[in-house]
Structure 1
Amino acid sequence: MTHVFDEAITVEKLDAEHGYAVRATTHPAYNNMVGPFGGITAATVVAAIGDHPDVLGEPLALTINYVAPIAEGQWDLTLTAVRTNRTNQHWTFTIDQNEQTVATGTSVFGVRRDTWADTEARVPEAPAPVDVPAVDFPDFIAWAANYEKRFVAGGLEDGASDDSTSTLWLRDLPERDLDYPALTSMTDAFFPRAFLRQGTYLPAGTISLTTYFHATSEELAAQGSSPVLATARGARFGNGHFDQYGQIWGDGDVLLATTHQLVYFKDLKA
């Protein structure tokens, strides 16, 4: 049986006059408050580039800019390999729907080389996943039902907070082995930090999402379907926007990915 995540990122090749294009279809299981969950859109892009016949290596970076809401239904993704060097490859892409551009972005794929390595970031302290209760989000956030969420700190039920940090154990439901598209989606699985600061849901949406992939394919294979430890916090809130920075940690304190995004919000108290 095909996993619902794989159903959601499935694309079909299109005959395009210029470039390389595929067609995707939104999946109701990954709906958000408005349109599809941004993480599933980003995951579809990574999967499509990874399946391109001329792709080089593995994903290293992705930036996707959501310039307009994506409606339910089909959308088209056009990919262009701008330059291929010996160890890295640079891509641009656009997402179009109903003859309008709804997202743009860039991605870098490349060959990972054996070099000196170190991780300066430190994994958050957290009890074992089995010792942390799983929580649900409201039904109107459909995509969240596809993840097991065990909050160590910063759950919405905690109310308003002066600290926007959330740390949680996270994995796909049903369980699914981790790969680059799934990791991409998880980097957008943090609810907006303004929710935690104000202690309530409010209109908000990602404008730009950047993810850096540190994990090798071997590290992802070793992770399997075990929960990852995800943590995020904001830096500055105001003037209708805020940023949030996140990390995804795997078994053995391996930093799998980091992410930064710019988020629009509307203050209900204004």
Structure 2
Amino acid sequence: MPTPHPFDQAISLTRGEDDLFYGHTSEHYWNAISPFGGTTVATLLQAILTHPQRLGDPLALTVNFAGPIKKGPFTARVHPVRTSRSTQHWQMEIHQGEDSEPVITGTAVFAVRRETWSDTESKLPDVAGPEGLVSYVPPHAVPFLQRYDLRYVDCDPLAGGESSVTQCWIGDVPRRMLDFPSIAAYCDVFVPRVFVRKGAPRPIATVTLSINFHVDEAVLAQHEGMEAFGKAKANAFNGGFYDQEAQLWSRDGTLLATTHQLVWFRD
């Protein structure tokens, strides 16, 4: 039996009673002082995807990072609060130890999509494919960054300057087929915008992250892709917080997801 991909190991859960799932932080996807936020988001999404009451595919989710996750076991609770014929609303939490307060809170919406008039205004930029680009080597050996192949098409993301825009191809290491959890993780893999503007790392922490998915499971299965193209930017830095918005496309130009987050930073 083949060894599971490190990402699948990182988001693996054991089903408990009622709406509870049990997991463990992953050394492979550790950030500086806590787990990579993308795997936290993907883990909560995975809990809903495997929940017996799940309806349809993910439409939107928001995850709030209320406190630090420590190394070790954790308990996730995902609860469907209301279900209609085509949409389903969920509440999500992660707890650790005996602490009654959650370290993560969030909401998600799943839906059954239907055939309607469709159009996509956000187009894949006219850029070279990943094959001719060099893989980004981060200045510090952060564990989770070793699990992603990032290939920037426009600039050194830590060059500094007046623009926070970066564009890059994103893939898993080792390579892995795209699915909803990996897309969710990709939404948080971009170099933080304040690093891009200032040209160097500094203390940051994501406060809240939202994702809108623009494909369903059937469309995603047709692509069988192993990488996505991402474009990210900030709109404002003030009062110790900044935002980051981004889009993700498949290689054929299908818009996979759009995402927005607010991040705390320190000068």
Question: What TM-score bracket applies, with the shorter chain setting the length?
Answer: over 0.9
Contact 2:167 2:231 in 1 (8 A): yes
Displacement of 1:66 in angstroms is 0.2
2:156 is the counterpart of 1:131? no
Aligned to 2:162: 162
- After TM superposition, the structure 1 = structure 2 runs for residues 189-208 of structure 1, keeping only pairs within 5 Å, are 189-208=189-208
Aligned to 1:33: 32
CA distance in 2, matches of 1:112, 1:136: 40
- The AA in structure 2 aligned to 1:11 is L
CA distance in 1, matches of 2:155, 2:196: 7
Aligned to 1:184: 184
CA distance in 1, matches of 2:64, 2:164: 23
Aligned to 2:122: 121
Displacement of 1:126 in angstroms is 1.1
CA distance in 1, matches of 2:28, 2:222: 27
- The AA in structure 2 aligned to 1:54 is Q
CA distance in 1, matches of 2:155, 2:90: 36
CA distance in 1, matches of 2:223, 2:176: 11
> TM-score if structure 2 supplies the norm length?
0.95
Contact 1:65 1:104 in 2 (8 A): yes
Aligned to 1:256: 256
Displacement of 1:139 in angstroms is 4.4
Contact 2:230 2:249 in 1 (8 A): yes
- Aligned residue for 1:261, secondary structure, equals strand
Of all paired residues, the percent bearing the same amino acid is: 38
Could you report, residue by residue, the CA deviation over 1:38-90 in whole angstroms, capped at 9, with x for unpaired residues? Answer: 00000001111010001000001110000011011111111111100000000
More strand by share: 1
Aligned to 1:74: 73
> TM-score if structure 1 supplies the norm length?
0.94
Aligned to 1:112: 113
- The AA in structure 2 aligned to 1:102 is V
Could you report, residue by residue, the CA deviation over 1:195-245 in whole angstroms, capped at 9, with x for unpaired residues? Answer: 000000000111000000102223322332432111100000011000010
Superposed CA RMSD in Å reads 1.2
Matched residue count: 263
Uncovered stretches (5+) of structure 1, i.e. residues with no partner: none
CA distance in 1, matches of 2:22, 2:214: 28
- After TM superposition, the structure 1 = structure 2 runs for residues 17-56 of structure 1, keeping only pairs within 5 Å, are 19-56=18-55
